[in-house]
Amino acid sequence: MRSLILVLALLGCAHAQDECHPRQFEYDSVVCVCDSTYCDQPGIIEFPAEGSYTAVTSSRDGLRFNVETLPVSSEEDPGAVEVTLDRGNTIQTMIGFGGAFTDATGINVNSLPTEAQDLLLRSYFAPEGIGYNLCRIPIAGCDCSTRPYSYDDVEGDVELEYWSLTEEDYQYKIPLILQAQELSSQEIKFFGSPWSPPSWMKTNGMFNGSGELLKEMWQPWSEYFVKFVDAYEEQGIPLWGLTPQNEPLSGFQDWRWNTCGWTAEDMRDWLKTNLGPTLEAAGMRRLKMMVDDFNRDTLPAYVQPMLEDPDCAQYIDGTAVHWYSDRYVSANVLDETQALDPEKFILYTEACQGYDVEGPLSVMLGSWARAEDYAHYIIESMNHFSTGWVDWNLALDMQGGPNWANNFLDATIIVNAEEGEFYKQPLFYALGHLSKFVLPGAQRISTTTTQSTLDVASFLDTAGGTVVVLLNRDDNELDVSVNDGSGIYVNHRLPAKSLQTILY
């Protein structure tokens, strides 16, 4: 089925790079409007023939995945900003990019006509879309649900006899995930994250607020994970990884949405005595276990006790990071975390705009400023060992929900159910400039630039091609000369306030 979809997509290349249908709201750029009859797609964009380069550009002025193929040069542009690549210095291997299949995502996608639903999922997962390959699944409810719930809300059911998936899984998560798998021409890696255990397993008896897992529940909660993996795999959704707790220190802060508090020491002891051995006994040590799953202001302190304990570290594959403190905490903490155990990867597992405001500003339709800010930190994280970036909700409504805790947020796609249409935010294209071109297995290569308002990350593709992602944060256009020491130069002009991916 997947190969048939790929063939159809390739045959449909006449429709590749369809133009954005722009609509201006009150912010500094446009959204691209999609409905049941039309949606812009980047199309199949391949590496050009030797002696040429392809530049794909999006900008505040309205370009969206604009494609140009031009000849390379044998000389550097003497007046250009220098971008120097060291292809011999490969660093981390990339895992991928994607988003989360929350209840809110499913509710919003299902609110559209069937044809529009298909176009929305194609935008993310089909070969002509932006190639998402790494997706998060909340284990039961989260704030981006219409209610707090778990998979076993029967008080005292320590044997988990009443454990079961819910209507949210069967209506909003599983069908969309299966469709995404059908649309994709590559493997999609899925990982699960819990927000809260059943409330009766916690010290405060609540899904939210300040509370920890009761120590006598450490083993039942471990077995709960096994049931989740088994249940999803029985539905045809293989799991690639897990995080043991979403934002574990938030459970000590009386948060208004689903949470559970874990100290680093308790997390270490639970992993090595309960969760790790339980997953291993169930044949699930194949799953990638990523600890922390919180902002980088917790690093490296939170993961250090776990990684320095060999009995715990044997069950850990990587560190999961959230974006929300990146503006305030140096990226050097990522380097320090990587140095604790260079064999374990770093992966950004949650991020979104609009988290730090209330009311109508949660969603800013057409905001290039938000896209630029996002792209800046994505590129920064790549340059400090992150192996990918997983955005939060794949789709939200015009308010930034639904969200039972009224924690409204922005998203890459906003759904207007009343009009039967959806809007691709500039954020969508900001992620797409990496997700479509920086494929799993690509290696980041050392890169420098002479311009402070130019962010750059470069990658060596598995087939030997070079991918250079450039973000011009300047209000003026920039001439850039890319030099990798091979005797060829890519001399190109970046529009003001633009994001560009160069392939050669």
Instruction: List, by residue number, the catalytic residues.
Output: 247, 350
Q: Are β-strands 413-416 and 489-494 bridged in parallel, bridged antiparallel, or unpaired?
A: unpaired
154 neighbors 70 (Cβ within 8 angstroms) = no
Rounding to the nearest 10 degrees, give the CA dihedral for residues 343, 346, 349, 353. Answer: -170
Residues paired with residue 83 on neighbouring β-strands, in sequence order = 449, 482
Output DSSP code: residue 96.
E
HSE, CB side, 13 Å, CA atoms: give it for residue 385.
Answer: 21
Alpha-carbon dihedral 303, 304, 309, 310, rounded to 10 degrees? 70
Contact partners, residue 268, CB within 8 Å, separation at least 6: 305, 306, 309, 312
Of the candidates 305, 382, 390, 391, the one whose C-alpha atom is nearest the C-alpha of residue 340 is 305
User: Got the DSSP string for 196-247?
Assistant: ---GGGBTTSSSSSS-BB-GGGHHHHHHHHHHHHHHHHHTT----EE-S-SS
Element (H, E) at 345: strand 345-350
Q: Are 303 and 291 in contact (CB under 8 A)?
A: yes
Q: How far apart are CA 250 and CA 261, in angstroms?
A: 6
Distances (CA, A) of 150 to 101, 162, 249, 398: 16, 11, 20, 27
Residue 49 makes CB contacts below 8 A (sequence gap 6+) with none
Cite the DSSP H helix spans in 249-394: 264-270, 276-281, 304-307, 310-313, 332-340, 368-382
Helix axes 103-110, 174-183, angle to 10 degrees: 70
Calculate ∠ Cα 313-223-273, nearest 5°: 35
DSSP state of 419: G
Compute CA 403 distance to the chain's CA centroid, rounded to the nearest angstrom. 19
Coil/strand/helix, residue 55: strand
Token look-up 């390379």 returns 72
By the 8 A CB rule, do 154 and 271 touch? no
CA distances from 255 to 212, 245, 326, 496 (A): 13, 15, 20, 41
